[in-house]
Amino acid sequence: MSSAPDRQLGPDLSIATSIGDAADVLVIGLVSGADGDSPPEPVIGDGLLDDARLAEISASLTAVGASAGAGEVSRIVAPASIGAASILAVGMGARSALDDPDTVRRAAGVAARSLTGVERALTTLSTVDLGAAAEGFFLGAYRFEEFRSDKTRSSKAPLASVSLLAGTGDAPRRDPAAELDRARSIATAVAVARDFVNTPPSHLYPEEFADRARTLGESAGLEVEILDDTALIEQGYGGIVGVGKGSSRLPRLVRLAYRSGASDAKKVALVGKGVTFDTGGISIKPAAGMENMTSDMGGAAAVVATVVLAAQLGVGVDVTATVPMAENMPSSTAQRPGDVLTQYGGITVEVINTDAEGRLILADAIVRACADDPDYLIDTATLTGAQMVALGTRTPGVMGTDDFRDRVAGISRRIGENGWAMPFPEELSADLKSRVADLANVTNHRWGGMLSAGIFLREFVADGVEWAHIDVAGPAFNTGGPWGYTPKGGTGVPVRTMISVIEDIAALG
């Protein structure tokens, strides 16, 4: 999977057979000592090093004051008998933290970012969890420099290759090569979503986004359908048309379908918000920070990447993505506060605030997705600033039908994307009543904004469909510094959550 055929999205990953394999740097983990006063202990798989070399490495790390604090890095000269010239030790916290794959994933990401300019790394982090280590190195080394000239492009290339030592314990393991292939596919999908989000709106607008989605879909053998602005008008997609009509770059609806081939396969629908830039429309946003609205198609980016990934992994369920794409601009043709739209399927909506546009295009897409009678529906969007007010910038809010909401949130936490289940207070439903239409697109107050947006979307979900809505307004785009395997800019959240939920459905129904 690639959004640009000539672009290397991450380092080459391979399985190592020995700690003596040639490398520039050996990457290991450090955990806290058995008691609070003991020196940190290296994380190296059983039998990979003899006691003498372990003692030499531990002594060198103690001498430089190496810390086991999460994300802390220390570098020492490697013993002569090790194939690498130096050792990079990454803090992982308490030994008990090794039970969480995301501890390994974050440590590998920190290591990858610390090894800019390094050609070859060898790691023992993979003896704890090979897949998590592979994902962390790949995503930690991610870089987006397509629009930089040589004047500002980094003079040092990202980490080029990583060899991962497989665990030697007695516990049954997945075949290392298969585990690595899966990790590489997942990490590549996340990187593709990041690329989409990081591409500026001057270069990624609805028509172009749809074309790129078509290319990805066709390369993965998916069924692809694209509705242009004329077809959207003719077929009654009032929300997408209403949001997109203020821009000279007109909206699209993309449908990508993967068929598993099983006659009794469950059907999963994915929907993602694809506002390629959001000015707020007539209800225009403040200028400060508006440039970050290049990320307002993060949900669509994740959904496109996920359905392609589902096909590549050959999951045992049918997956169909319905992706509305529009640009929300103020102009003489833009929708106005007070306008009434007729959404796909016939529900009318009074537009109180044109900056609450994501729910309008999602509503159309949800109704269309439900027309296929899916068993499950997941929609995701950078939908509300209220998500960040309630949960911060790293915790997606998960809403929907109770059981499926909790299932999605639990899986999201388990794989390190940290979704949190949120309620639907019924008193907020009354606040979405309109004076002239079936619904208003916002309430007349600012309380519970993330929840009322979810309640609005609930009106468009067909009865009997298990549904989860994931608000990733903060988590999809990192405006701060990099951390773990998460860079500044597009993060690719929630690709890993969605593919994990899909695989869970394939396994358990």
Catalytic residues: 285, 359
**Is the distance from CB of 360 to CB of 441 less than 8 angstroms?**
yes
In this structure, are strands 41-43 and 420-421 parallel, antiparallel, or unpaired? Answer: unpaired
Read off φ and ψ for residue 190, nearest 5 degrees: -60, -40
Could you list the beta-strand ranges (E) of 336-419. 340-342, 348-350, 376-381, 397-400
CB proximity list for 208: less than 8 A, separation 6 or greater: none
Contacts of 465 (CB under 8 A, 6+ apart): 269, 370, 374, 375, 376, 377, 401
Region for 93 from its dihedrals, namely left if φ exceeds 0, alpha if ψ lies in -120 to 50, beta otherwise: left
142 Cβ contact partners less than 8 Å away, ≥ 6 residues apart: 9, 10, 158, 191, 194, 487
Measuring CA to CA, which residue among 105, 109, 187 is closest to residue 141? 109
CA distance 228 to 253: 7
User: What is the tally of helices (H) and strands (E) in the chain?
Assistant: 13, 21
CA 66 remoteness from chain centre: 32
446: closest CA among 392, 493, 508, 384? 384
What residues contact residue 92 under an 8 Å CB cut-off, 6+ apart?
A: 29, 30, 31, 43, 68, 70, 98, 103, 104, 107
Which one-letter DSSP state was computed for residue 295?
G
Would you state the structure tokens that stand for residue 29, as one six-digit string? 């983990």
Residue 307 makes CB contacts below 8 A (sequence gap 6+) with 217, 222, 256, 257, 258, 270, 319, 320, 321
What is the total residue count of the chain? 509
Alpha-carbon span 45 to 22, nearest angstrom: 18
The answer to whether the CB of 135 falls within 8 A of the CB of 15 is no
**170, two tokens:** 């007695």
